[in-house]
Structure 1
Amino acid sequence: MVYSAWMTAILAGVICLVIMLMIMPGLIRYLHKIKFGQTEREEGLESHKKKNGTPTMGGLAFILVPTIIYIAGSFILPDMRFSQNILIILLAYVGYGLIGFLDDYIIVVKKDNEGLKPGAKFLLQAVLAIIFFMIYRSGSSTEIWIPLADIYIDLGWAYFLLVVLMFTAETNAVNLTDGIDGLCAGLMVIALVPFAVFASVQHQYPVLVLIIMVIASLIGYLRFNLHPAKIFMGDTGSLALGGFIAAVAMVLKQELLLVIIGFVFVAEVLSVIIQVTHFKRTGKRIFRMAPLHHHFEKGGMTETAVVHRFWAAGILLAALGLLLYFL
């Protein structure tokens, strides 16, 4: 059964990768044609100003390709069957992607760099999280697993607060990480690998297949997003990925390991919170620039060097997450 699931996952992943490699050049040309380009902030790094006009909303491709293929495959392959867990993950993936698309649309088409108002964006993210909790609660427990201690604690209705926090925090953390070429997509590929292993060990084969499909789609996207990037994922892609990994962690009962495995994302959002809070209190900055990746760029590190170091940190954290799971 495990062998069959992995074969299905690899085959579906290869199909996603090939399709992504085939459609991305056309998507880039189309987004150029309709002028769906990136607008860099005036206060941003000078080296990033040349990115103005680079097509954005590339996340549409790696959302739609695995989603459509999975739905089609669910009619014929037992390892791609629909379940409550798959429904939650796909709703999170597409739902948060839609919020991101609305944000990107306002920025690109309406020429409003602020995009969705922060309050409206947070409200939409929270509402989606509540919906996922209600669906999940109808057929699953509110327990969380504690690594190392190997015990389960039932949070009851407090689990509701954890879910809302997990989805809103993760989507915003991934969104903030999408600031330099290849960083966010590469980190997400790395972070999803342990969850594929968890799904396999737990015999949640449809979840395994879907994770591998998203990983393969991201690899196809990365082919065009590595420095110098020909396309960006936009909020469409980053919010979708944050929702996807949060939903995967929830259905696999690895909510706490998500924090460890995805700690680079956590560090990015913490750097912004610390910077803003400290500046409001003292008028001084702790970091040269936030999020954290810009701090290192501002210190003279090249964009590619920052990405490679952050990827290395992501690999170590993913390995730590796997170690804690099996201890």
Structure 2
Amino acid sequence: MFEQLILVTILVGFLVTAVCSPFFIPFLRRLKFGQSIRDEGPKSHQKKAGTPTMGGIMILLSIVITTLVMTNIYLEPTVETFLLLFVTIGFGLLGFLDDFIKVVLKRNLGLTSKQKLLGQVVISVIFYIVARSANLSTAVNIPGTDVEIELGIFYVIFLIIWLVGFSNAVNLTDGLDGLVSGTGAIAFGAFAVLAWYAGQFNVAIFSVAVVGALLGFLVFNAYPAKVFMGDTGSLALGGAIATIAILINAEILLIIIGGVFVIETLSVIIQVISFKTTGRRIFKMSPLHHHYELSGWSEWRVVMTFWTVGLLFAILGIYIEVWI
């Protein structure tokens, strides 16, 4: 029964995005919500200038509609359901403001880093307060062991770091056609399995709703992309996957299942530290996907390789949690 529910939820999420996109993409184009390309980026990306962005709106709509419809029909909404939607929509709105300022107001940097961080922290703190009232655990499990580390009041700091860190990590990864759509679908699929295994079916339904939405979006976002998700989509997805990990008490596993996002972020950190301390760059360009592009790999080859690595990380994460 539940397996059928999972498949139906993915199908609904896919159809909502896939059916809406052919109507929404021309609408974005008419509004001239086109992507601006940074001059310091790979020169091959200049041809993407003007491609409609803020397609994350479609992803968000699909996630919300699918989650609420499927949950109300087959289960009942829980605190976890609304927390997931709150964080996803909240981070999505931050991304929307960032995109709107860059695309419509023509301020290429969008929200300042302080404004974005403040918004992320406020959403994270509200999430913590509501979750604690619903008896959210403040212990962190070490994957593959029975060890739990009780953080107590310090858990709120950990939670903020996780939500802010992974929302920005997914945002950094969103630099090639279909890269985040594919790696995101894989990672959310893995967490759907873990949520189901943990008996948290509402969280599992949300997770597969995201999978369906991303697969539907990928139809139009795969190379050559007809639309980009923008910060609207990437910040929302990063916040959502961190929230799932927190709710099913698998926070540390997110480092493994979201390994591609972690590696991309580390490549930026390493590049910045190296350049500021030695004046030398470790990579030809960061995040890491740009390094491989400038090394002569085609964009599609980079994306497929990262999808494969993401799949291996997802399998490893499930193996550690379920079988060890």
Q: RMSD in angstroms over aligned alpha carbons?
A: 1.1
Q: In 2, are the aligned partners of 1:59 and 1:234 still within 8 Å (CA)? A: yes
Q: In 2, are the aligned partners of 1:59 and 1:237 still within 8 Å (CA)? A: yes
Please tell me whether residue 115 in structure 1 is matched to residue 82 in structure 2: no
Structure 2: which amino acid aligns with 1:179? G
CA distance in 2, matches of 1:62, 1:167: 19
Secondary structure of the 2:252 match is helix
Alignment of 1:33-52 (within 5 A): 33-52=30-49
Structure 2: which amino acid aligns with 1:205? F
The equivalent of 1:128 in structure 2 is: 123
The equivalent of 2:10 in structure 1 is: 13
Structure 2: which amino acid aligns with 1:23? C
TM-superposed deviation, 1:180 = 0.4
CA distance in 1, matches of 2:2, 2:127: 26
CA distance in 2, matches of 1:219, 1:69: 14
The equivalent of 2:101 in structure 1 is: 106
Q: In 1, are the aligned partners of 2:71 and 2:205 still within 8 Å (CA)? A: no
CA distance in 2, matches of 1:113, 1:277: 24
Alignment of 1:272-287 (within 5 A): 272-287=268-283
The equivalent of 1:147 in structure 2 is: 143
Q: In 1, are the aligned partners of 2:220 and 2:226 still within 8 Å (CA)? A: yes
Q: In 2, are the aligned partners of 1:37 and 1:56 still within 8 Å (CA)? A: yes
Alignment of 1:46-61 (within 5 A): 46-61=43-58
Please tell me whether residue 261 in structure 1 is matched to residue 257 in structure 2: yes
TM-superposed deviation, 1:87 = 1.4
The equivalent of 1:64 in structure 2 is: 61
CA distance in 1, matches of 2:191, 2:144: 17
Q: In 2, are the aligned partners of 1:5 and 1:209 still within 8 Å (CA)? A: no
CA distance in 1, matches of 2:10, 2:188: 14
Gaps of 5+ in 1: none
The equivalent of 2:167 in structure 1 is: 171
CA distance in 2, matches of 1:13, 1:308: 22
Please tell me whether residue 201 in structure 1 is matched to residue 187 in structure 2: no
- Residue by residue over 1:135-189, the C-alpha shift from the partner in whole angstroms, topping out at 9 and shown as x without a partner, is 1111222111111222222211121111000001100000000000010110011
Q: In 2, are the aligned partners of 1:227 and 1:304 still within 8 Å (CA)? A: yes
Q: Give the TM-score normalised by structure 2.
A: 0.97
Of the candidates 47, 56, 79, which is equivalent to residue 84 of structure 1? 79
Structure 2: which amino acid aligns with 1:271? S
CA distance in 2, matches of 1:217, 1:288: 33
Of the candidates 296, 309, 313, which is equivalent to residue 300 of structure 1? 296
TM-superposed deviation, 1:73 = 4.0
CA distance in 1, matches of 2:247, 2:73: 23
TM-superposed deviation, 1:86 = 1.2
CA distance in 1, matches of 2:74, 2:318: 29
Q: In 2, are the aligned partners of 1:74 and 1:82 still within 8 Å (CA)? A: yes
CA distance in 2, matches of 1:42, 1:306: 21
Gaps of 5+ in 2: none
Q: In 2, are the aligned partners of 1:100 and 1:234 still within 8 Å (CA)? A: yes
The equivalent of 1:24 in structure 2 is: 21
Structure 1: which amino acid aligns with 2:114? G
Residue identity over aligned pairs, in percent, reads: 44
The equivalent of 1:162 in structure 2 is: 158
Deviates more, 1:60-69 or 1:243-252: 60-69
